[in-house]
Structure 1
């Protein structure tokens, strides 16, 4: 158990450092005269992942807060609310990223081309709507998470040293799980659809290259690399997300959490926000050039 916690500490440190470096890079790029439309999305996703990794290590945060004169109930609700918002933003922004890339590389004869300029124009508005949606949807966390009360016969489900899930009616529990599942399945479905579409475009482009014995244009080579990177991130996200979803849903339905399950779930949740910046750094030629110049 202690060795797994050490791995989690290392994972958290690596995730925060890599995402902080990437966030600094994207801020510089966005403030400059020349930046890609996807840079704003990646910047938001990087910030979300920093917060997600930090709040994901809930036990460490609650132990740190013990020295502060803050009510346990307040810090539990705040920590879990922020983490839930960041988790929702991660899936929504990843979905938006895959949709934007699919529209960007679509051929001029495709029906998606008419949405290309609209997506670029309303990108900021779309991200604002995503934030508002998750801030409101995750507010339910405030009502069923709070400070753990050590009382005999209590039906609370202890999840950290000081925090617990409050008992919920089976109907309400099932309703919340249904809403969450429906939202997540819809977003993952959109990601898988756009990813399949992009894979088909890449496959067709590859066949054209072999047939013509020359480099055709799928917008440009950087666009092709960006598409491959986004495809990798989406596939990785979907796999890690469903592993996390199965663990958390089973625990909530059975109303049972044990320390090992919680630790494994933390590890799974932190894999995507830790791997994402490493993939982006290794695949973005601008970052590689900047590192070489240093």
Structure 2
């Protein structure tokens, strides 16, 4: 446990982690409340409203569980039993998986929204809201399944005496699991990341093509009645593209760090600090970026 004593000396890191959690939870709750009210009050809410609200809910839960993990890591309070450890670790990993899936869904839905009527994606526009509900059910079931092994392998450190535990927090650890189960879990997680990030990259590339095409067409148009709408679509799409790029960079870095720890089956306090800050930075920054998108769209609608 001496490694945790070294970690507890990083007072600056503690402040940064709790500041990140606090800002992220507040921003995501504000974004969630905004989209809940928007979904209830508007006659025809956009399909992306439901996705953004779902993403805000996931990130709020992800950061709240991170808060419990950080409290245990830095020694403020321990997670007392196996049930607490299993719930906190499992929920945090579940929210991480749901984050990548929902962000991918947001990117695909935005690409469908921007697609012209002549596109093959245009037929999905009227059914997007219902399809989103089906997608939510699928990604929840899928992520609950592939993260289920954390409910088995997570234990309270004080309840076991094995020397081959992988420490996750001061109180919680991972039990050694069979090679087949470990590599099956890694393969499923890798498949998930590659599939959804690939879809995200394709939809982002498609939106870039649409923006470039729109830019060329707008050079030949001088109608002032169309310019506010076109400008709003361009600005909102560019902000979402920034969000997609931010997600891909931070999620790849986080998975490189976590996969290294999981494959080597060891604990390193420096790696853990970096993973906490990088892995949860997207959940903190994304609501601020998305709220900027809403301000842009509201501004142009009011003109």
1:201-242 Cα shifts (integer Å, max 9, x gaps): 101111211244557679744333332222111111010000
Distance 1:20 1:140, change over 3 A: same
Deviation at 1:125, TM superposition (A): 2.3
1:161-190 Cα shifts (integer Å, max 9, x gaps): 100111122332222111110111110000
Unaligned 5+ residue runs, structure 1?
Answer: 290-294
Q: Provide the residue aligned with 2:99 in structure 1.
A: 90
Match of 2:124 among 104, 115, 119: 115
Would you say the 8 A contact 1:281–1:287 is kept in 2?
no
TM-score (norm 2): 0.87
Distance 1:151 1:126, change over 3 A: closer
Q: Provide the residue aligned with 2:278 in structure 1.
A: 268
Distance 1:119 1:61, change over 3 A: farther
The answer as to 2:152 corresponding to 1:143 is yes
Q: Which stretch has the larger CA shift, 202-211 or 240-249?
A: 202-211
Question: In structure 1, the residue corresponding to 2:115 is in which secondary structure?
Answer: coil
Match of 1:5 among 14, 30, 34: 14
The answer as to 2:255 corresponding to 1:239 is no
Distance 1:170 1:121, change over 3 A: closer
Deviation at 1:113, TM superposition (A): 1.1
Unaligned 5+ residue runs, structure 2?
Answer: 1-9
Q: Provide the residue aligned with 1:79 in structure 2.
A: 88
Q: Provide the residue aligned with 1:230 in structure 2.
A: 240
TM-score (norm 1): 0.89
Distance 1:23 1:120, change over 3 A: closer
RMSD value over aligned CA atoms? 2.3
Would you say the 8 A contact 2:85–2:154 is kept in 1?
yes
Would you say the 8 A contact 1:155–1:167 is kept in 2?
yes
Residue pairs, 1:162-177, within 5 angstroms: 162-177=171-186
Q: Provide the residue aligned with 2:70 in structure 1.
A: 59
The answer as to 2:48 corresponding to 1:42 is no
Size of the aligned set, in residue pairs, is: 286
